[in-house]
């Protein structure tokens, strides 16, 4: 009888722990540290620490002065991507070094938040622990309240706006190999303001994710990384690790998450109207889609 009671108690404790984990409030980003230094110094330190923890740096990008973004992957990220439908979006993590006034902020994407937003098979909690070990962890940020894993897996900003499952089809090629070679070549050429930042091939799967920078001015400013961030990234702790955007080759097709989802997932608290709102970048989602389509199509 005692053993049955113990089993029941243990089962209850497991259920409570699972419930607590399910109700954990997830936020888009993690602040690793902030303090004195330079962007170059902190970027070099971050790359060294990440490499020692088993990450591979696949690209880096300075979208504007005072900011550098380091893109990393590892075996667990790529395996989880391979096991998940359209998992290539989650094959990388982004680390940002940002100068804010007289201090340097080091931050990175929250792997658990991303895994749930991208409806991946694994929650990447081990990757989160490895990033925290390499870079540190002061606080999660990017949303005042956050959302549960269940909410993240069903997320869209509001009625009528896109989910993760509503990407833009940018191009179709004759085969996966043709698509990858064409997209790589076109993004490397950097025409129309869209340029390659990184490429990660998903093992055992016809899927490749590219990171892209976007630069535009005048009539094309609405697709420009710096312009968009100047409007929406206005909080004291910067969400620089929102960049860069992704292009996904899956089979013979080329996709990108529509910006009304891709921006909103990293800025879920952004208001619809007013200063620093989605209304201020109302033209950006379609401008981004067109820029990416023109960059990768035949």
Alpha-carbon distance values, 26 to 126, 133, 161 (Å): 15, 19, 21
Helix (H) or strand (E) holding 98, with range, is strand 93-100
Torsion of CA 59, 229, 46, 128, to 10 degrees: -90
pTM beyond cutoff 0.75: yes
* Spatial contact of 82 and 93, defined as CB atoms under 8 Å apart: no
DSSP 157: S
Q: What pLDDT, on the 0 to 100 scale, is given for residue 86?
A: 97
Q: What pLDDT, on the 0 to 100 scale, is given for residue 3?
A: 52
* Spatial contact of 214 and 72, defined as CB atoms under 8 Å apart: no
Secondary-structure percent of the chain, ordered helix, strand, coil, rounded to 5: 45, 25, 35
Which two tokens mark 187?
């993004």
Where do the domains of the chain lie?
Answer: 28-142+159-296
Alpha-carbon distance values, 79 to 104, 136, 148, 161, 200 (Å): 33, 24, 24, 30, 12
Q: What pLDDT, on the 0 to 100 scale, is given for residue 22?
A: 53
Q: What pLDDT, on the 0 to 100 scale, is given for residue 20?
A: 45
CATH number of 28-142+159-296, picked from 3.30.310.70, 3.40.120.10, 3.40.309.10, 3.90.226.10: 3.30.310.70
Q: At what angle do helices 125-135 and 39-52 cross, to 10 degrees?
A: 130
Scanning the structure block, which residue is given the tokens 């993240």?
A: 152
Question: Per-10-residue mean pLDDT for the chain, 298 residues long?
Answer: 49 47 86 97 98 98 98 98 98 98 97 98 98 98 97 96 97 98 98 96 98 94 97 98 98 98 97 92 97 95
């Amino acid at each position: 009888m005692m053993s049955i009671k113990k089993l029941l108690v243990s089962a209850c404790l497991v259920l409570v722990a699972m419930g607590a984990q399910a109700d954990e409030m997830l936020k888009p980003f993690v602040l690793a540290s902030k303090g004195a230094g330079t962007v170059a110094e902190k970027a070099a330190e971050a790359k060294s620490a990440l490499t020692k923890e088993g990450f591979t740096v696949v690209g880096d990008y300075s979208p504007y002065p005072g900011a550098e973004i380091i893109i990393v992957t590892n075996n667990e990220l790529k395996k989880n991507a391979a096991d998940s439908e359209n998992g290539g979006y989650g094959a990388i993590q982004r680390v940002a070094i940002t100068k804010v006034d007289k201090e340097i902020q080091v931050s990175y994407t929250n792997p658990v938040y991303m895994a749930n937003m991208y409806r991946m098979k694994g929650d990447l909690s081990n990757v989160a622990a490895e990033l925290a070990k390499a870079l540190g962890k002061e606080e999660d940020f990017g949303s005042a309240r956050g959302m549960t894993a269940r909410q993240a897996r069903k997320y869209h900003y509001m009625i009528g706006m896109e989910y993760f499952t509503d990407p833009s089809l940018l191009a179709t090629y004759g085969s996966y190999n043709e698509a990858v070679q064409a997209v790589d070549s076109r993004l490397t050429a950097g025409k129309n303001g869209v340029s390659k930042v990184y490429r990660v091939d998903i093992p055992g799967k016809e899927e490749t994710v590219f990171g892209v920078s976007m630069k535009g001015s005048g009539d094309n400013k609405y697709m420009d990384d710096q312009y968009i961030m100047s409007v929406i990234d206005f909080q004291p702790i910067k969400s620089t690790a929102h960049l860069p955007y992704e292009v996904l080759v899956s089979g013979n097709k080329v996709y990108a998450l529509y910006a009304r989802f891709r921006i909103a997932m990293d800025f879920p608290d952004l208001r619809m109207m007013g200063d620093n709102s989605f209304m201020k970048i109302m033209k950006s989602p379609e401008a981004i889609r067109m820029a990416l389509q023109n960059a990768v199509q035949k």
